[in-house]
Structure 1
Amino acid sequence: MRYLLPLVVGAALVAGPASPAHAEPASDEWTTEVGDRAVTWGGSPRTGLVELGRHRLDRPANAITAVVTGDGVVDVRGLRPDGQWTEWLEAPATLPVTTSTVETRVVLSSGKASRVRLKAARVPAAAADDVSAAAAGRSYRVYATREGLVGGTTANGHVIRSRDHFVALPSRRGLASRNSGNYSVQVCASNGRCEWAPVWDVGPWNTKDDYWNPSSTREMWKDLPQGKPEAQAAYEDDYNGGEDQFGRQVANPAGIDLADGTFWDGLKLTNNAWVTVTYLWTGSGPVGTVRTADAAGTVNVRSGATSTASQVGIAANHAQVRVTCQLTGQSVTGTQGTSNVWYRIASGKHIAKAYVAGVSGAATC
Structure 2
Amino acid sequence: MSRPRRRTRIIVLTANLALALTAALVPVATPVPATPAAGSPLTHISVASGGESWTADLSVVGGDDVNVRHTSAGLRLREARSAGRSPRSPHSAVAEGMLLTAPRTLTRPATRVTADITATVPAGATVEAQVRGWRVSGWTEWRAATAGTVFDRPVSRVQTRVVLTARDRGPTATVRGVQLTADALAAVSAATPGRTYRVYATRIGLVGGLTANGRTVQPRDHFAALPSRRSLSPRNSGDYTVRVCTTTGARCEYAPVWDVGPWNTRDDYWNPSAVRENWKNLPQGRPEAQAAYQSGYNDGRDQFGRTVLNPAGVDLADGTFWDGLRLTTNAWVDVAYLWTGAGPRGVIGDGPLNIRTGASTAYPVRGLAARFANVPIQCYVTGQRVTGPYRTTTRWNRLAAGQYVSHAYVSTVYGGAVPVC
CA RMSD of aligned residues (A): 2.0
Aligned pair partner of 2:331 in 273, 284, 293? 273
Offset at residue 12 of structure 1 (A)? 8.6
Question: Which residue of the other structure, out of 94, 97, 113, is the alignment partner of 2:175?
Answer: 113
* Bigger relative CO (Cα 8 Å, ≥ 6 apart): 1
1:76 alignment counterpart: 131
**What's the offset of the Cα at 1:169?**
0.2
**CA shift digits 1:239-291 (9 cap, x unpaired):** 12211112222111100000000000110000000000011111111100001
The size of the alignment, in residue pairs, is 336
Pairwise CA distance, 1:9: 6.6
CA contact (8 A) 2:44 2:118 kept: no
- Kindly provide the CA deviation profile for residues 148-191 of structure 1, in whole angstroms up to 9, marking residues without a partner as x: 11000000001000000000000011110000001001100135
Aligned-residue offset at 1:125: 5.0
**Conserved? CA contact 1:178–1:200, under 8 Å:** yes
Deviation at 1:97, TM superposition (A): 2.4
In the alignment, what sits opposite 1:185?
Answer: 242
Matched residue SS, 1:263 = helix
**Any conservation in 2 of the 1:35–1:115 contact (CA below 8 Å)?**
no
**Greater C-alpha Rg:** 2
Asked whether the 8 Å contact 2:151–2:188 carries over to 1, the reply is no
Determine whether 1:37 maps to 2:94.
no
Residue 309 (structure 2) pairs with residue 260 (structure 1): no
Give ranges in structure 1 of 5+ residues lacking alignment. 1-6, 14-26
* Partner secondary structure for residue 102 of structure 1: strand
What amino acid is the match of 1:74?
A
**TM-score, scaled relative to structure 2:** 0.75
Equivalent of 2:257, from 199, 206, 215?
A: 199
Cα distance in 2 between the residues matched to 1:43 and 1:194: 25
Aligned counterparts, 1:14-93, within 5 A: 28-38=52-62, 39-41=65-67, 42-44=88-90, 45=92, 46-70=95-119, 72-80=127-135, 82-91=136-145, 92=147, 93=149
Q: TM-score, normalised by structure 1?
A: 0.87
Question: What SS class does the counterpart of residue 354 from structure 1 fall into?
Answer: helix
The percent of aligned pairs where both chains have the same amino acid is 51
Farther off after superposition, 259-268 or 42-51: 42-51
Q: Which moved more, 1:112-121 or 1:302-311?
A: 112-121
Query: Which letter maps to 2:56?
Result: T
**Per-residue displacement from partner, 1:199-238 (whole Å, max 9, x unpaired)?**
0000001111111111111111111111111111111121
Mean alpha-carbon deviation: is it higher for 150-159 or for 100-109?
A: 100-109
Deviation by residue 1:83-110 (Cα, 9 ceiling, x = unmatched): 4111110112222223342111111224
SS at match of 1:336: coil
Question: Structure 1 residue 36: deviation in Å?
Answer: 4.2
Aligned partner of 2:388 in structure 1 is 334
Question: For residues 288-327 of structure 1, what are the structure 2 equivalents within 5 Å?
Answer: 288-292=346-350, 297-327=351-381
Change over 3 Å in CA distance of 1:114–1:235 after alignment to 2: same
Residue segments in structure 2 that go unaligned for 5+ positions in a row: 1-23, 28-42, 46-50, 68-87, 122-126, 166-171
Distance 1:98 1:48 in 2: 29
> Letter of the aligned partner of 1:76 in structure 2?
V
Letter of the 2:355 partner, please give it.
V
How far does the alpha carbon of each residue in 1:113-157 deviate from its partner, in whole angstroms, 9 at most, with x for none? 33211222334556334x31xxxx211100000011100000000
1:310 and 1:33 mapped to 2: Cα distance?
A: 49
Give the residue type in structure 2 aligned to 1:99.
V
